[in-house]
Structure 1
Amino acid sequence: MKKRVFILFALIGCFIMPGLAQNKVTGTIVEEANGKVIPFVNVGLFRQADSVFVSGAASDDKGHFELLAPNGDYRLAVSAIGFQTFEQMLTVKGNQDLGKLQLKEGSTKLSEVTITEKRPLFAVEGEKTMYNVAEDNSIQTGTLSDALQNAPGVSVDVEGNISLRGTSSVEVWINDKPSHMTAENLKTYIQTLPANSIDHVEVITNPSARYGSKADGIINIVTNAKIQKNEFFSFGVNVSTHPYIDPWASYVWSNDKLTVNAYINGSYSDWKGNSFVDQSLFNASGALANHEIDSTLFKNKMYGLGGFFSVDYEIDTANSLNVWLSGWPNWGDAINNTSFFREEYLPNVLTTDMRESTNGRSSQYFANYGLYYQHKFNNEGHNLSVSVNGMSFGGGENGEVTRKFTLPMDYTRVLRQNSLYHSTGVEGEVVYNHPYSENGEISVGYTIGYDPEHQSLVTDTVINPNSDKEAWEWDKDVYRTYNAKFTELNNEAFITLQHKFGGFTVKPGIRFVSELVKGAYPDSSQYNFNKHFFSVRPSLHLSYRTKSMHNFSLSYTRRIAAPGAEQLSRFPMYHEDNYSSGNPELDRIFTNAFEAGWTKYWNNFGSIGLSAYYRGKTNNVDRITVSNYHWLYGRVVPYSYPVNVGKSHNAGFEYNMMYRPNGFFNLRFYANLYDSYIKTEYEGHEYESDMWSYSFRLNMWAKLWNKLELTASGYYSSPTQSLFSERQGYFGVDAGLRADFFDRKLSVFVNANDIFNTNRFGHSNNSPYVQSNSSYKYNSRSVAVGVTFRFGKMELEQMARQGGEGAPSAPQGMGGM
């Protein structure tokens, strides 16, 4: 496999290198009056035909600048505070030195003609590591899931599960606010949101007191929000061999005060796959209780709609308002066919042979809305902001599970289930920022959040039904029927201080958190609970930046996370072949996190970054699976519940490198090596596990003749562990190309995903009571094709939401059946 990846990258590299030549446009900015050089001036090149931005830079301390551009006709624009805007038309044919460009004194404000230099793909800003997605041409044809794969330390497995440095304790934020999505809705979101609607991703591996997060890390996804003037409309369609089809349209309108952004899309997909489980259960004395083998073929058809609408209004120079609303409903049908073969040894010897078929229909939605108001007391960072954010998600599933037994006797059992779930959370926050000097700033804030959730499940059964389905007499299964209401109420306050001493920055902070968690079961009040938690979370972040672009960082945070409502509930959830519950005795999770890092940037090379981290936990919550004889099943079955693990830590190193010899070729490599350690006590026995894990990713992007883009990526993640379980490693290779026509009014792309068909999810469990191996595979190898049409000003395109030019990862199957 490694040879295949190497050969693929080598061949592509040999093909593209001849097409990478770019012309250098250089010059020096001086004052017309006295000939003095003007440092740090914005310089940009725009195509004469349509004003599309091509290249930008800032002059150095000697007034010198350097731009890269292919042959063509351009408009050169130069702007600086206190000087009139300078413009010059030029034709580029080979390298060009423009000599001295003289600026006249004037009252032009820089904000009117700001030309922004292209940002680096990766940058460190305080506690944040920034991945500027909008600058990464190789990912624009993908989804948010693809973009996250490139963010430092982030991994997304084939099921859509997100991890950061090997741990799943990560919180996803959207536009600086917690997403509040369920795990399944979050998977759908990242697998369908187009990557070219993302401005940048912030990875915070050691969050300060500014963030009220329970997780070990935060991934903040910042979408394109600020739109330039004028009007832009685009539409397109993307198709894949999965099959998958996604038509979409985007519209942007803007003037000096108001910006409106609208986006809508539809989707259809048909996913197929298979799974396999081999499981053995043991009793307390270690004797084999039963052995089971399951094999499943599944097929999911999904239909969806999506929409986004936002309005930005600049009331005046001191006040601004932004409101937004997005919604993503989807629905579908699922068909699963499973073969079970089970041999039971305790308490009686029994062989079971059974076929199960599931036919169900599901629907779900999630919506996000918000309002953000900011008042500026001045332009030096003194401001007050008020925000209200809401997240609503929910859905339902209804279906039938038919089980036909041939052993130990011939009979049929049909299970009918109808489930509903709904959550509408709202959060309000007030933040006040006050720079007390040129080098220091203090921030204080208060947040209140209310998150109610309602879940219900109704289950009916019938034994040996006849062919007349209308005459079936259903019996209510009271053990698989429930009605639950959960409520979480949070009150939080924080204060942070940041002060700069030259290139050195220190940022201490503290956050106070009060959390109330309630659970109510109207039909089973004995399971009601009410828990309150209070915590104090200090943090300290230090950073140092040199003039030669060296960045150093050192940080410490202490976090205390309370368990969630479902983790605390004792209510037993009875499934067909196993059951589970929460644990009201769960304590808070205490985390001490240390991190040190170094990053170096070069203008003509790229960047190299190294970091070391340690994250030690006590009372970490993990699920354990044991085997119990249960009277409802009449046999030994798996039972899972959450427990506080005694001690655990993840400690390791990260390395990232970007080679960027010019603006039209880059090669990026990321690697993570870490040690995962777990130690706990269970039923009087001490268990200890230690594992080294690693992952790496190699990405390449190139643009030829200013029209054709080529991409390729290869990735590998080694096995990782959690309590009594191990996730198997996975790897894959993707490649694609994209071409633009008619001055980018038409674009066409082709992507080949998982070329060697290697994406497979595997998991093993090795607890004292349960030993199992499972695997999951879907039709990941595919070819996707897309077409995009654009109308209006091209400079608006980067900020307009567009359809993701690539098929998303597989959606999750129907749950609860």
Structure 2
Amino acid sequence: MMRYFPLLFLSLFFCYKLGISQSQTTIQGVVVDSVSNETLFSASVALLHASDSSLAKGVVSDDKGFFRLSNVSQGSYILRISYVGYDMFYKTLNVSSPHKNIIVDTIRMRSLYNVLGGVVITDTKPIYSFDGEKMIYNVSEDAEIQSLTLSDALQNAPSVEVDIEGNITLRGVSSVEIWINNKPSKLNAENLKTYIQQMPANVLDRIEVISNPSAKYAAEGTGGIINIITVSKIKMNSFISFGINASTRPMTSPWLSYMWANEKFSINIYLNGNYSHNKSKGSGYNLLFDDNKDTASYQTYSNENKNSSYSGSSFLNISYNIDTMNSISFWGNVYGGYYNSFSTRELYRKEYAIVGSEYKYSTLSDNQSNNYNMSGNVMYQRKFNNSGHYLRTNIGANTYNSLQNGYYERDYLTQNELDKTTLSTDKDKNYGLDAKIDYSYPFSKNGELSLGIFDNFSRNKGLIYEDTLLPGTQNYRLDSIRYRDYISLSNAIETYASLRQRFGNFTVNVGLRFQYKQIDYQMINSPKDNIKQNYPGLFPSFHASYRTKSMHNFRISYTRRIAYPGARQLSSFVIYGDESFSTGNPFLEPTYTHSMDGGWSKFFKKIGDVGVSSYFRYTKNEINSLTDVVFSDFYGRVVNYSVPVNSGSGYQTGGEFRFNYRLKSYMNIRFYSNVYFSHAETMFDYPETSLRNDTLIVTESFSYSFRLNYWAKLFKILTVNASANYRSPTKSLYVENQATYSINCGMRADFFKRKLSVFVNVRDIFNWNKREYNTNSVYYKAYNTTKYDSRFVSAGFTLRFGKIELENRAKSGM
């Protein structure tokens, strides 16, 4: 590919020279804050063609708020100016003759929320920005990502990693809260993965990464918050678009969206369907040792998996401005799907405790499930003035229902008496209600007080059972050992107070949040395993930022956070599998985290922007899953089991580096790296009679990851992109995950003034992506590798009618 780079650079140079030779008209002006009259540095200034709102030219304002658009051709235009935390500015301009200089009156930008200190740190089209505690990735302004998926967009967000299975980590921590449009997603783990892997990136407005959330946000979770925004402010008019995305996996996903809006009323409808199929192969082994550290058993296996799904979603958003001070909005979402998972395994097991105990057998499982998720929210906002004084109320509800039926078959090569056939059923019904009130009062020109209260209730009813085929008959009998009938209740009440004050270019935000959570897990068929816990707590936060006139940006923060154990993790009810079992731990305690974060960033007019940050996170009682071995009377031999444990205390410290280079508007190169060291100490409390003496386990890991992205525009209609990703091995309690890496590339072409777009992408060109991990304790050793069909070609098209400016809001998945 390197041999094409000279041609690429010559093409870009030719396009640049051709563009500057056409006209001599100049448009210039100054951008200031409407209240303080302070000049706004690095405001994004875009000149749009009035006919279709496509981009003609773009610059950013300098440190005196001044901007100049040079070499503008004759025609009608819309001048659009944006700045983080401010309302969008529009002005119609007509260029009637060349060699004419147009001086625009001083442009006074109006603050949206009286947010102080929000600073854009990127260039012409702001890809990255800071707004208080938020690191913002403006997806709608990133041409490189438009033909890809939400999963790819998350990979470009600061500090975020997404693995091949759709699992998300933030700075190497997996307990991340995923929000959609400023609210927790309320999707279960599998539906969330589907949402992330299938949602087109061009439905997104921005992704807000809050690595150290203040007291204004929920204190739950140790990994921070990722807020996915699909709705942006629209002035007026209508827009409709549709398209189809497909891949060789295979995958097919048609979608349709419509948006109509005027100054008072707007409606947004989005429909999406999806069919997907994927395959994977795996293999591995495990060794089990008894308390004397003698080998108890050895097992090897290989498996093949095939998964297919049919799903669809619909979204409706209605907003109405009652008057200039009162507004009401409603959104609702329906998501449903059918899923099929088929897998086969070949296994060999040898038991050393019993002479001649060798087993060869195969298993087959076929699971079908269907589910649907419905959620809705009504919001009313009362503004008392246009300076950020408002009261906002939200009332929401959601429901989730699923039914899974499975068939399982175990066939021994010689010991036919051990053959087994089962039918399983898993029913799940869930609903939730929530209400929230937020109040914001700007008590001075540079100060703001925010107060809020939140209540969230959820109820989950589950029923799981298996029927086993009686030998020599066609009759099935209920397996009472594997029967579970339960109700899980959760209720959380939260309040917060947050104070923000600016002193010149220095901004301080302090907050305090109180949370009280109740967990009630009731095993209907086994009351002795019921669990009920209450968790009250106070969670302070501190954030400070400072910027200089030369656009150096500094920030520092501290928060205390909590991660609650799940209801199932607390119940001691034993779940028996085919070869192992799992149980909960009623003595689990919440995980508490003290998190500190600091960073510096700088915007450069010539090259783009650069950012460096460091962080330190101290964790107490982190919850991990421990795999151990024990002799089981149920199985009649030594088997492995898993149980959640509090793995003592530990810390993680690291640093990030980000560099964004842009050559005019024709080329963009981005580099991001994250390096961190983690240390954890786990103390086991074995009985005095136990033969085990490894009571203190120290786990240390040095890990790093990087991403390199390249994007270029050729001949005005064609864009090309390429990316490389690498993540080093990581460690947790007894487990080491091996490195992952991939290279991707693609191209997109826009025709008829972007009314038609087509794209082709190749994912994981060299088919490298797989999941590989080792488990290594004194009593249990295991290795597993799973290879996915991660190399595939995807293609698609989009047709647009109406104002292109409406596109970010018209396509919305949540």
User: TM-score when scaled to structure 1?
Assistant: 0.90
Deviations 1:638-679 (A, max 9, x none): 111111111111110100110012123211100000001111
Cα distance in 1 for residues equivalent to 2:4 and 2:163: 23
2:721 matches 1:719: no
Question: Any idea what the Cα deviations from partners look like across 1:99-138, whole Å, max 9, x if unmatched?
Answer: 3526599x99999xxxx99652111221111111111111
SS at match of 2:648: strand
Partners of 2:644 and 2:604 in 1: how far apart? 48
Residue 132 of structure 1, aligned match among 138, 148, 153: 138
SS in 1 for 2:753: coil
Q: Which residue of 2 aligns with 1:808?
A: none
Query: 2:246 is matched with which residue: 239, 244, 247?
Result: 239
Q: Which amino acid aligns with 1:268?
A: Y
Residues in 2 aligned to 1:656 and 1:9: alpha-carbon distance in whole angstroms: 26
CA distance in 2, matches of 1:693, 1:723: 15
Task: Give the match for residue 672 of structure 2.
Answer: 670
- Pairs within 5 Å for 1:20-31: 21=16, 23=19, 26-29=26-29
CA distance change for structure 1 residues 465 and 237 in 2, over 3 Å: closer, same or farther? farther
Looking at structure 1, the residues matched to 310 and 90 of structure 2 have their Cα atoms a distance apart, in angstroms, of 55
Structure 1 pair 289–654 and aligned structure 2 pair: CA distance change class (3 A):
same
Judged with a 3 Å threshold, the aligned counterparts in structure 2 of structure 1 residues 305 and 66 are, in CA distance, closer, same or farther, namely same
Equivalent position of 1:123 in the other structure: 129
Specify the code of the residue in structure 2 equivalent to 1:797: E
Which residue is equivalent to 1:553?
Answer: 555
Please list the CA deviations of residues 381-405 of structure 1 after superposition, one character each: whole Å capped at 9, or x if unmatched: 1111101233333312102111110
**Closer, same or farther: CA 790–601 of 1 in aligned 2, 3 Å:** same
User: Match for 2:320 among 307, 310, 313?
Assistant: 313
Moved more, 630-639 or 197-206: 630-639
CA 1:79–1:724 in 2, change beyond 3 Å: closer, same or farther? Answer: closer
1:382 to 381, 386, 389: 389
Secondary structure of the structure 1 residue equivalent to 2:621: strand
Identical pairs, percent: 37
What letter is aligned with 2:138? N
Contact kept in structure 1, 2:204 and 2:230, CA below 8 Å: yes
Residues of 2 paired with 1:145 and 1:248: CA distance? 18
CA separation of 1:776 and 1:449: change in aligned 2, threshold 3 A: same
Q: Give the whole-Å Cα distance in 1 for the aligned partners of 2:664 and 2:788.
A: 39
Aligned residue among 455, 460, 464 for 1:448: 455
Deviation at 1:596, TM superposition (A): 1.1
SS at match of 2:622: strand
Q: What is the rounded CA distance, in whole Å, between the counterparts of 1:231 and 1:84 in structure 2?
A: 17
CA contact (8 A) 2:181 2:231 kept: no
Match of 1:357 among 360, 364, 375: 364
Deviation at 1:687, TM superposition (A): 0.7
Residues paired across the two proteins, number: 779
Alpha-carbon shift at residue 365 of structure 1 (Å)? 2.6
1:710 aligns with 2:717: no
Judge conservation of contact 1:55–1:118 (CA < 8 Å) in 2. Answer: no
Relative to 1, partners in 2 of residues 1:356 and 1:251: Cα closer, same or farther, differing over 3 Å?
A: same
What corresponds to 2:173 in structure 1? 167
Structure 2: runs of 5+ lacking an equivalent: 32-36, 113-119, 687-692
Out of 589, 592, 598, the position equivalent to 2:591 is 589
Separation in structure 1 between the aligned mates of residue 501 and residue 174 of structure 2, nearest angstrom: 33
Q: Please give the residue correspondences for 1:295-306 in structure 2 after superposition, counting only pairs within 5 Å.
A: 295-306=302-313
Task: Spell out structure 1 runs of 4+ moving beyond 6 A.
Answer: 37-42, 68-72, 78-81, 107-111
Label 1:308 to 1:11 Cα distance change in 2 as closer, same or farther (>3 A).
Answer: farther
**Take 2:3 and 2:743, find their aligned partners in 1: how far apart are those partners?**
9
Q: Secondary structure at the match of 1:436?
A: strand
**In structure 1, what is the Cα distance between the partners aligned to 2:514 and 2:726?**
40
2:563 and 2:591 in contact (8 A); partners too: yes
Name which of 773, 776, 793 aligns with 1:766.
776
The corresponding residue for 1:392 is 399
Structure 1 residue 18, shift from structure 2 partner: 3.8
Q: Map residues 248-267 of structure 1 onto 2, 5 A cutoff.
A: 248-267=255-274
Contact 1:84 1:108 in 2 (8 A): no
The 10-residue stretch of structure 1 (41-50 or 512-521) with the greater mean CA deviation from structure 2: 41-50
Report the 3-state secondary structure (helix = DSSP H, G, I; strand = E; otherwise coil) of the residue aligned with 2:443. coil
> Secondary structure of the residue that 1:149 maps to in structure 2?
helix
User: Residue in 1 aligned with 2:698?
Assistant: 688
Contact kept in structure 1, 2:556 and 2:598, CA below 8 Å? yes
Shift of 1:333: 2.1
5 Å-filtered alignment, 1:438-587, equals 438-465=445-472, 472-587=474-589
Q: CA-to-partner distance for each residue in 1:4-40, whole Å, 9 max, x for gaps? A: xx84995795576446527466444499xxxxx9976
Give the conservation status (yes or no) of the 8 Å contact 2:77–2:92. no
The one-character-per-residue Cα deviations of 1:576-621 (angstroms, maximum 9, x if unpaired) are 1111111110112121111111011123321110011110111111
Distance in 2 between residues matched to 1:350 and 1:78, nearest whole Å? 77
Q: 1:342 to 1:534 in 2, by over 3 A?
A: same
Contact 2:317–2:329 under 8 Å retained in 1: yes
What is the alpha-carbon distance in structure 2 between the residues aligned to residue 583 and residue 729 of structure 1? Answer: 31
Asked if the contact 1:248–1:802 (Cα under 8 Å) also holds between the matched residues in 2, the reply is no
Amino acid at match of 1:416: L
Q: Is the 8 A contact 2:650 2:681 kept in 1?
A: yes
Aligned to 2:633: 631
Equivalent in 188, 212, 218 of residue 218 of structure 2: 212
Q: Distance in 1 between matches of 2:128 and 2:413?
A: 60
Per-residue deviation, residues 299-321 of structure 1 (Å, max 9, x unmatched)? 11211111111111111100111
CA RMSD of aligned residues (A): 2.9
Following the alignment from structure 2 to structure 1, what is the Cα–Cα distance between the partners of residues 70 and 623? Answer: 53
> TM-score normalized by structure 2?
0.90
**Mean Cα deviation higher: 179-188 or 148-157:** 179-188
| Aligned-partner Cα distance in 1 for 2:803–2:92 | 22
| Residue identity matched to 1:486 | S
1:67-466 aligned within 5 A: 67=69, 75=77, 77=79, 87-89=93-95, 98-101=100-103, 103=105, 119-216=125-222, 217-346=224-353, 349-409=356-416, 412-465=419-472
Say if 2:366 and 2:407, in contact at 8 Å, map to a contact too: yes
Note the alpha carbon deviations across 1:544-582, whole angstroms, 9 max, x for none: 111211110111112233322111111111111111111
